[in-house]
Structure 1
Amino acid sequence: MSAKPVTNWREKHKLIKEWKQKKKLKQKQRTDALATDGQTSQTTVVDNGVKTVDRDQHPMDTSVDDMRAPVASEGSSCGRKWTASIAVPFSIVDNAQSPELKAYLCGQIARALVVFNVDEIVVFDEYSRQTSGVDESSDESLLYDKRKSAMIQMIRVLQYLECPQYLRKYLFSIQKDLQFAGLLNPLDSIHHLKTSDVCQYREGVVTNRPVREGKGSYVYIGLQRDVQIDKCLKPNIRLTVRLDDTGGNKKLKGVAVSPSEPREVSGLYWGYTIRAAKSLSAVFTESPFPGGYDLTIGTSDRGQCVDSALRQLPKRFDHLLVVFGGLKGLEAAHDSDE
């Protein structure tokens, strides 16, 4: 009676082993067939030689080494000096039917910013002329307050998603605008580092940990130990820290740097900045860059075709801006500008 279950178990194990062997054989045959079909390829000539590209490969499916190769051939550093910005009206979020959909739409916008490495997003008011002389006691003021709250919610959600997860509880309080922000998908950006990740730069917040006078401040950067910087700053201030030593020393030391240094020095995409503009013209006049945007692209269904317009664009630029219109188009935002 006791030997029968053992025999059944052995037979079952034998059948499973045979099934795994057949599965591996089928996978090998499928791989060989794909390799045989994919032998036909096209060649793309580059500066340093000939590069072979698979015929089924998408033009944007390039590796990190392929992206850095043109930079190395020019003899420059791997940093990126140019920036890409977009301007969107808050009416695209105001059109959502519920607060959940508004938060979800903001999450999709934030995800697109990270995927395409956008450095700045400008949220502008396309109803600037219509709401400039609104009486506070009229019914139009209620509509204006509703639109204003939608703009604030959009900015809050974008700021919350851009912030690394380990800093959110220090920088954001419980508020109505972030009621559904916790349900959104994470951006998984480069500066959203985990404890096990090793990087020269990290985002942190200044703590109220006591320190001797003239010894700087302690910054929490998501690790088990706080890093000591050379500057004395107020608590609860977010900053970018460049670590001097990532080894196993007892004390971590770093230097407070500009948030643009990881991009300009190491070529790392370090999140996006958010700016609010009261009108479409304020998008250009209040630019954070000294010379403004040297290349501006407006999107409209009445404009030129994208394929023909891209050929007319300059190959080099310092600060790119792409302006999107609202539900009524970019022309309506231009007409309602003050």
Structure 2
Amino acid sequence: MTTTHAYAAQNAKSALAPFEIQRRALREFDVQMDVLFCGVCHSDLHQARDEWRNTIYPVVPGHEIVGRVTAVGSGVTRHKVGDLVGVGCLVDSCRTCASCQEGLEQYCENGFVATYNGTDRVSGEPTFGGYSTQLISDEAFVLSVPGNLDPAGVAPLLCAGITTYSPLRTWGAGPGKKVGIVGLGGLGHMGVKLAHAMGAHVVLFTTSASKIEDAKRLGAHEVVISKNEDEMAAHANSFDLIVNTVAAQHDLNPFINLLRRDGTMALVGAPEHDHPSPQVFNLILKRRRLAGSLIGGIAETQEMLDFCGQHGITSDIEIIPMQQINTAYERMLKSDVKYRFVIDLDSLRK
């Protein structure tokens, strides 16, 4: 076992603070890495403060991880020492259910093992995430990072990137399709970039006129102020797909009205409280679909990373030292970041 420096929350009220964890001895198919960068996801805050009522304390958050391989188990064939690699939200699954067999480990019917706040399937011990100097994961859940991309900017792709890529791919975003992205935060800005790179006509929905210029810089062809009824009405019955990234409770009906017949709105934002139920006839009369989507499987996540490598796509980030994580959480609550905090783990090694 290896002593690893980390930051952890001890309870729902405590700030994150220095903490030491013991990483396991290498198993046959394990990959050990020095963590270089770790993105800060809003779900990290939810878990640290037990807002989803399932946190195992102490909790070491972090599931947008880029690192350098330092050791491998005797059976590892996919990665070698020195490789630049990534780990996202999953570090294991049952691997035998129908979903796992189809490469959809995020929907594992026996429950996937989360990178943190999960339970290791072998030892039964809690998993600890990327707010730490070292990580160990089974090679089947370790991804290759394209060498032409900035490693710090890649980190948020492991959650924010795949969370938006998966519904865009599932519901066919591409040339000739009109795609809406609701919200311009950590998820939304990646949705705009990816949908644009896929060749779709991209419309960004925001409540803030101050975000119009930035949305167009990121790749939106149009920007709609969602509080403006006339602007919304001008797009009625016209969208093939809307990816809703907003993680706060809100009325879905105005966006459902914008879907064409057989259009889909995919929810990827995870609010603390459920949205009000939509009007059923808004769905029935146009055969519209209201769907949900959860990150992506390992194969799809690697596909997303390769796609980003081909198109030069990374997240817009602000790099912080580990010691500023509590301030970053407070700023994140105020949407005071463009568009993702990324922790430089060298700050913790020092």
Q: What is the TM-score with the length of structure 2 in the denominator?
A: 0.24
Higher helix share: 1
Where relative contact order (Cα < 8 A, 6+ residues apart) is larger, the structure is 1
Q: What is the TM-score with the length of structure 1 in the denominator?
A: 0.24
Higher strand share: 2
From the CA coordinates, give the structure whose radius of gyration is larger. Answer: 1
